[in-house]
Amino acid sequence: MIQLQGITKFYAGSAGRVEALSGIDLKIDPGEIFGIIGRSGAGKSTLIRCINLLERPSEGHVLVAGRDLTVLDAAALRAARHEIGMIFQHFNLLSSRTVFDNVALPLELIGMTRSAIEERVTPLLDLVGLGDHRGRYPAQLSGGQKQRVGIARALASQPKVLLCDEATSALDPETTRSILALLRDINRRLGLTVVVITHEMQVIKDLCDRVAVLDGGRIIEQGDVFSVFTQPQMALTQTLIRDVIGHETPPGLLERLSQPHLADGAALRRLFFSGQSTDAPLISELSRRFSVDINILHGQIDEIRGRPFGSLLVLAKGEAAQLEAAWAWLAERDVRVEVAHVQ
């Protein structure tokens, strides 16, 4: 559905050329929800705006549904943008227009009749749960309701692609969950291809099928969400997912681990489980098989799309050879074992 080929974007700065994106190659399949994550300044918003050419790439090509947008003239590009909806962090609603009229605005601009607009907008308001709010104004709405208006407005032109630029970062956690559930429902019902820009890995975990990690205007890692969460390759990716999958060691535990009598002669390891290994009683079997004592200090089990994964921080005591054999035994059962550093 979307192909980015060699996308580079640079600006003229006071100290010379500033490169916001550098050689981005990306393929997003029809009907999937694709996430792009990175820290502030990584180039995320520039990248998503290149997809609909709100930002024109300095180099490279943008193909949507097989059509190269970068070679279209102004009229053809305007027509192509009708197939690409976009929702924003700060909603961008017109305060003087009702919910209905905000959603209707893009249809008015293309000259659609009032009866046709009514026929198009009414079911969209029902879809986003605002059917009984059509006559209200933005000032009368909560943040989540405003974003639902923004989503309905983006869907008014019946796009094939929906771009979401930090669409939940201005919302509280409970409202964020409801908006993500709505986006999943829209993706399933309408078959839309959804591209999500965010700095929150929880959004990626809860919503997306695949993810690309952006850093310094370059994609440093990408893959299906489960693989990226359970086997992150880059240090930045590991940092981004740390809060989501329970890698942060509580301060009280750090203090206890600093006591010599607790850590003396013990091996501190972090164990990463996924799939079937999450449900198997591996720790108890390991203790019996290798005559080692395992103290579980901290951990979390979670799931992505019904597939479980998790990690445990453990303190193990036993003969050195037995411990090494135990770690190798776990590795054979698809449990990744890492030396834990908690300082």
Residues of the chain with pLDDT under 70: 243, 245-265, 277, 341-343
pTM confidence score: 0.84
Pick from 315, 318, 327: nearest CA to 253: 315
The domain segmentation of the chain, as residue ranges, is 2-242, 251-339
pLDDT tens digits along 190-215? 999 999 999 989 999 999 999 999 99
CATH 3.40.50.300 matches 2-242: yes
**Matching residue, tokens 């700095």:** 199
* pLDDT value of residue 175: 93
Cβ–Cβ < 8 Å for 286, 292: yes
pLDDT tens digits along 102-139? 999 999 999 999 999 999 999 999 999 999 999 999 99
* pLDDT value of residue 266: 79
Pick from 301, 296, 181, 298: nearest CA to 230: 301
* Chosen CATH of 251-339 out of 3.30.70.260, 3.40.50.720, 2.30.140.10, 3.65.10.10: 3.30.70.260
- Give the Cα separation of 323 and 58 in Å (integer): 56
